[in-house]
Chains A and B, each alone.
Chain A
Amino acid sequence: MNPTPDAIASGNEGTMSPQQAAALLDQATHEARRKIEPSPAWLLTTRAVAVLAALGAIWLSVRGQHPYQGPTAADIPVLIAFIVVNFAATVAVRMRATAGIRGRTQLHPADIVVLVLSWVAVVVIVAALAAAHTNLAFYPTSVLIVPGLAWAAIGAGRKVWRRFGVGLAVAVVGVAGLFAGPAGSWAVGGVGLCAVLLGAAAAVAWSHRS
């Protein structure tokens, strides 16, 4: 039934059958969830594939190095391109999805400060480890630990448990990489982050179905 403009304007559009109401409720709920999701499953899955490809490519180029010398000059642009595209896509999708929303869904300025500080801490810690001639400075996953814990803390603070879980899982990948050697750490990082992102994508898809 198509209500007349007058009926809509008066707020009395007529009634629906229970079947029509159920279909409309289902459609409206799914559409709203899809539009406001800051980390849609498709984006998380794409990032999972991209991180596996980027870090996997670097692992393939460093795994034969004895002694370990780190990524080659050809690997660096791949890594930088991955980081830039990943960051830009994530921010663009998040900003579009959370436009007009205030509350737990949005990152607050304090959250962004915590994240920036966590990366500053990474630079300081890695520089200190390098100055102390500690091998851990050259493990790529070591840079994941502090930002992962910061993301988990932000999630816990806002009671956004999916954010907490992802942050904690990223930190765990960071620690796991420390046991794989500097070259193997790239593989652990690639596989681990891919698994974390696929898990998050599955959680998002599941929450939209329930």
Chain B
Amino acid sequence: MNDDTLDPLIHVPTRLKIVATLAALPEGDTLSFTRLQDMIGLTPGNLIIHLRKLEDADYINSEKTRNGTVSITTVALTSQGRAALGAYTRALRDLLGGDLLGAL
């Protein structure tokens, strides 16, 4: 087994952090774009690029709501995204055997 078994969409540091962060929310909960940006520590432009890639693969969905003059974008992991992270974690576990850290 080699690194090719790891989902290339998730196997990028920033996107792995994004997916792991969204997976920490209870299923069905959403996170605002600004809070996610604050938690990951990325510029808005960079975050948008990564979110778009994940959204194109249906790993996340985003929703824009308007509250008066303020528009809020929220992001959530889809069930497909959660399953992809699960598969990615299992693939990592298989690659590393017993040499794994706590969260896995």
Contact = CB atoms under 8 A, between A and B. Distances in A.
A142 B14 CA distance: 52
A13 B9 CA distance: 11
Contacts of B84: none
Nearest to A160: B26
How many chain B residues sit at the interface, stated as a range, is 35 or more
Contact of A101 (B3, B11, B31): B31
Given A29-B24, A32-B20, A36-B24, A19 B96 contact: yes
B13 interface: yes
Contacts of B50: 11
A19 B38 CA distance: 26
A22 B100 contact: yes
A23 interface: yes
Contacts of B34: 100
A18 B26 contact: no
A21 B93 CA distance: 11
B104 to A, nearest CB: 6
A23 B74 CA distance: 27
B83 interface: no
B29 A18 contact: no
Interface in A1-47: 3, 8-19, 21-26, 28-33, 35-36
B70 interface: no
Nearest to B35: A100
B103 to A, nearest CB: 4
Contact of B49 (A9, A101, A106): A9
Interface string B66-104: 000000001000000000000001001001100111111
Chain A contact residues, majority secondary structure? helix
A25 B25 contact: no
Contacts of B102: 26, 30, 209
A109 interface: no
Contacts of B26: 103-105, 160
A24 B52 CA distance: 21
B32 to A, nearest CB: 3
A26 B104 contact: yes
Given A11-B53, A18-B96, A25-B103, A101 B30 contact: yes
Given A9-B45, A18-B95, A104 B29 contact: yes
A116 B93 CA distance: 48
A39 to B, nearest CB: 14
A99 interface: yes
A133 interface: no
A22 B96 contact: yes
A105 to B, nearest CB: 5
Nearest to B17: A28
A102 interface: yes
Interface of A: 3, 8-19, 21-26, 28-33, 35-36, 99-106, 160, 209
5 contacts: A9-B46, A23-B101, A26-B102, A26-B103, A101-B35
